[in-house]
Amino acid sequence: MGDTDKLRASVEAWRAGVDKSLAKHPERKASFETGSDAPVERLYTPLDLEGEGYAEAIGLPGEFPYTRGVQATMYRGRLWTMRQYAGFGTAEESNERYKYLLAQGQTGLSIAFDLPTQIGYDSDHPLSAGEVGKVGVAVDSLVDMEVLFAGIPLDKVSTSMTINAPAAVLLAMYVAVAEKQGVSPSALEGTIQNDILKEYIARGTYIFPPAPSMRLITDVFAYCARSVPNWNTISISGYHIREAGSTASQEVAFTLADGIAYVDAAVKAGLDVDDFAPRLSFFFNAHNDLFEEAAKFRAARRMWAHIMRERFGAVNPKSWMLRFHTQTAGSTLTAQQPDNNVVRVTLQALAAALGGTQSLHTNSRDEALALPTEASVRIALRTQQIIAYESGVAETPDPLAGSYYVESLTDRVEKEALAYLARIDELGGAVRAIEEGYVQREIQDAAYAYQKKIESGERVVVGLNKFQVPEGRPTGLLKVDPSVGERQAAALRALRLRRDGARVAAALRGVDAAARGDANMMPPILEAVRAYATLGEICDAMRAVFGEYRPGSTF
């Protein structure tokens, strides 16, 4: 049997499997058409192209190595989750924004926490002054988390939380809120970012040194495998690596290197790879180069499939699948002519959809100036909805497959990323490479080269270094009430007066004891949360044992 005959037989078998799967869902559309009413086939392969001479390596959607997507039907079966990142001021204000977004058609929540919350400080801590509620919502205790999700049934919506160093504490708060709603932890769906390595690389919201931080992460893996089985225990993030100035290939390489480090740590902690790997997820950036970005996502999927099957010996196909959230690139947005950002975000969101993302956040036009207004958020959400329902890109899996250009870009990103992974392995792994400053230096060099091209005019940024117009001071921007810090501090004082102090003290001793031993940290953290210990008190109990991370120079 020739190559073409083999491919034809494989495609026929795939179609039969998909037909069987779709027969169970009669509510799904049977046929799809372009905007000109031309029929769209369920799948396009080299057999649909002149000459039938393309390599079988392109593969099929839903099959190893998942270059073309992790589901056979992709968006025909289910659109990506539209998950707008949001949060500011108090829990009450953010709760209103979440309800507004859900009413406008958003299909998942994504929580932005303020800087004090991200680094484990209560709102009344001296270091929190001036930062409370500014870049996200302030969450000091279970009280705030209860208000944040008031009227939002946690068994009906999935929630992503961008939280890293204190991720275990915020997850415990979420579980406790669900319990108060009568929702079992086993019914919860969502993600905590929980990715500390990229904090050391690019973002900076770390608390503890690497060793105890990695322990907290693997403790979350183990706890969720037992108690919160539908929860994504980590979102291994390339987004912030790209925001810091990396290339597309570096974003893939350094993100997967971090993923390898987390899997290594979990296996060394005694976990079976197939017990936790199916709940790993990733978080990537989408930039303006439409085809390179789509190719980047395809390459990352293929690489991770081989890493998990061949390096770690995973046997569950779900352990091989790289599932990811995408956010459009904040670093590409300009304060000059901010309406142009709507076009940039559209291109970036289109790249994510073409690349097969599982969920998507689209940035708002005014984010280079301030937190987005309600009107700007609505436009950002509508951008996703227009792509999903009007553009045709959701009609067939991986519509760019077979393109000479896109396939060569996919191979190029993979080759460059594999070279970086080999170098990181030579250095002793991601943690060691970060400690030596290798990863940071590579990103800094790439960022410097990119900035030089912008300043020289070699790379055009419309409205910034070309096609400029005189502009006045922008108006109508969202402003966070500066009194939010005082209100949060007053609420904390009231909480400390009315809670059971003895129960809080006992729970915090439990956190301390667990940190000094080798027990899983999640149960004592959850008990402290239920007792209404504050985020800062719980993190301070761990600080007393683990210490705080102090980075050295990367030069």
Assess whether pLDDT exceeds 70 at residue 452: yes
Which residues is 359 bridged to in the sheet?
Answer: 81, 325
Please state, in angstroms and rounded to a whole number, the distance separating the CA atoms of residues 487 and 140. 12
Within a 10 A sphere around the Cβ of 262, how many other Cβ atoms?
24
Least trusted range by pLDDT, from 47-56, 319-328, 476-485 = 47-56
Local confidence band at 31 (pLDDT 50, 70, 90 cut-offs):
confident
Distance CA 524, CA 529 (A): 9
Q: What is the tens place of the pLDDT at every residue in 216-267?
A: 999 999 999 999 999 999 999 999 999 999 999 999 999 999 999 999 999 9
Specify the pairing of strand 81-86 against strand 108-112: parallel
* Contact between 529 and 140 (Cβ < 8 Å): no
Residue with tokens 């902690």: 269
Q: What is the pLDDT of residues 151-188, one digit of tens each?
A: 999 999 999 999 999 999 999 999 999 999 999 999 99
Q: Sort 301 into a burial class: Cβ within 10 Å, 0-12 / 13-18 / 19+.
A: buried
CATH number of the structural domain 159-394+404-456: 3.20.20.240
Instruction: Output b/e per residue, 125-140; b: 16+ Cβ within 10 A.
Output: beebeebbbbbbbbbb
- Indicate the pLDDT class of residue 553, thresholds 50, 70 and 90: very low
Domain borders along the chain are 3-58, 159-394+404-456
Residue whose C-alpha is closest to residue 474's, from 388, 390, 367: 367
pLDDT range class, residue 497, cuts 50, 70, 90: very high
Q: Cα separation of 154 and 267, whole Å?
A: 31
| pLDDT at residue 405 in the model | 87
Q: Give whole-number Cα distances, 488 to 187, 495, 514, in Å.
A: 31, 10, 30
Q: How far is CA 17 from CA 13, 255, 265, in A?
A: 6, 33, 37
In this prediction, residue 57 has a pLDDT band, given cuts at 50, 70 and 90, of: low
What six digits make up the tokens of 414? 């993979």
CB distance 68 to 298 below 8 Å: yes
Q: Give the global pTM.
A: 0.92
Among 47-56, 81-90, 325-334, 405-414, whose mean pLDDT is lowest?
Answer: 47-56
**For residues 471-492, average pLDDT:** 89
Phi and psi of 358, rounded to 5°?
Answer: -90, -25
% pLDDT > 90, the chain? 83
Least Cα distance to 288 among 25, 421, 416, 464 occurs for 464
C-alpha–C-alpha distance, residues 328 and 346, integer Å? 9
Q: What is the pLDDT of residue 555?
A: 34
d(CA 482, CA 473): 21
